[in-house]
Structure 1
Amino acid sequence: MAKPLALTSGEPAGIGPDITLKAWLRRDELNLPAFYWLGDAASLQRRANQLGLNIKIAEMRPEEAGDVFAEALPVVPTGHAATARPGHPDDSSAGAAMASIRQAVADVTAGRAGAVVTNPIAKNVLYRAGFRHPGHTEYLAELAATNNSTPQPVMMLWSPTLAVVPVTIHVSVREALAQLSSELIVTTARIVVAGLKSHFDIARPRLAVSGLNPHAGEDGSLGTEEQTIVAPAVDMLRKEGFDVRGPVPADTMFHEAARQTYDCAICMYHDQALIPIKTLAFEEAVNVTLGLPFIRTSPDHGTAFDIAGTGKANPASLIAALRLAARMAETKPA
């Protein structure tokens, strides 16, 4: 039997509990992989009651989750109570969310889980509690660090329609410009190619690298970063044998015909990558972190405080994240 997936609680006041409960209810219909939820069983039971869902929730060890998944939603306690009401984070929220992430990483590292799947967090809530990372991606890299090195995490948004990677991630546009370099583009692309080969069965991944400026700089008249940063990176990657082209104007990269010419679009900053995929595949897109020594996926949406506890939350992206995590766990490591 495959190892169960470790599913974090996410922000307890958000829709993470809602979509977890809804996903488990569809386990037979969709033949979902076994997973367990890391968090406070009492808070999950309260949410189930509020949603009017008759669900058996059972506390247990990770190793037992697969045996009971068909009959009960397995919960592995983290020792942190979560008292927040739907839509209203409180003082327990940050500690509960972070403990869940830490335990999920510990479980997959120790071999108790096959992959980590994370429910959405509220970064502003974590920041108030002293969280010092821009987001999930960077925190997971720290948790995966060894005495020798900290891995470079690469955030890929994947769907059957489109896969995108932002070279700079959770930073302001001003900071993205400061961080962008040929070296960062090259190391990001290497990690993407390794991940696509190992986990997505693409023997020779095709990459399209976007420009930074409008019309890819218009031969320097709208900016020179394409000439000084992006084009040199593309040249280096080609010399290493990668199938890569660019800099490509970002405004012509994402129509249907263009998408058929590459397996992943490498973009220069967060919104340049995420706007097209969230427009084309909002409910089926999955956030995948490449470059870590374990598999991590996540729904591609936020905490949605405004609909938490109302029954309106759609579990489609979480279901896609669970399925993709199980699929990736069956492949050889990147």
Structure 2
Amino acid sequence: MRIGYRTIKTAIGTPISISVAQLLGVTNFVSAGILTILCIQPSRKRSVLSAWHRFLACVIASLFSIIFFELIGYHPVAVGIMLLLFIPVTVFLKVTPGIATSSVIILNLYGQEGISQSFLIDQFLLIIVGIGTGLLVNLYMPSLDKQLKQKQSDLERNFQAILHEFALYIRDKNENWDGKELTKCEELLQEAMDLVSLDKENHLLRTEHPYHDYFVMRNKQFECLQKMLPLVTKLPETDAISVKIADFFDKLSGVVHPGNTAILYLDELEKLRDTFDEEELPETYEAFITRANLFRLLHEMEDYLLLKEKFKQSDVPARKRIKKRPG
């Protein structure tokens, strides 16, 4: 059983807030621990927002408690009527996460059966200690770089497998592939984007994320691979161009990496496209379908490579490029 960081932070923050509240002589000091538990969030941004929502909700709850309990009396009916109005107000102000936290303050004030200035200050200290401790403990967030790097590596390995399987099918009509890499890629892309979103929330002053554009690019490339699949499986025959394209897929499967050498393979793909003009026209229906699907396959492959070319500056020196492409 794995113990997560939120569990550890809750276990650390709760006794700290209770101890601080107790040292300050706060009434119902145990409630400080409840407030801290409710404030532990999975990211710094959510923690700051949660702290603000809960603090504002607690202040509003204190004002409502003074009005309703003093006017109606300390009776369960007063609590019900107050909540009927208090909850819509929190919804209107978009601080609904603070409802549970403010309920602690409401019940503390209700249990006192008389609201004095000193008790309000007491509860204000309780709010500060409970929410403040949760916020401070939550400022530490573990780095997600290692996990993101692993997702990147796993995704590239699956891309390599998919391209290699395409080559095998084009060349030998190999039907042993179960396609599990396609499903795995979908899972990895979703998990990676979730991690990127979480990591962005942990860096409040950073507007860009080094992995965001990468995984967006890979997601679009994966869409290209999905479009290629039905084209690959609808090749009735294997001809000379098929073998060359299969070799091209094999070559691409060996160069899936974070860098950008797409320009080299775009030039090679252009040469492959030129071979269509050099070959004789297909004489049978099956040969025609094969040639048409191969041509469409090259188009999807070009889109796949262009996505990588536009992702970042090329790693290939200009002198090594066969020819400069437009755009």
Band the TM-score falls in, shorter-chain normalisation = under 0.3
Higher strand proportion (structure 1 or 2): 1
Which protein, 1 or 2, shows the higher relative CO under an 8 Å CA cutoff with sep ≥ 6? 1
**What TM-score, normalized to structure 1?**
0.21
Q: What TM-score comes out, normalization by structure 2 length?
A: 0.21
Structure whose alpha-carbon radius of gyration is higher:
2
Higher normalized helix content (fraction of residues): 2
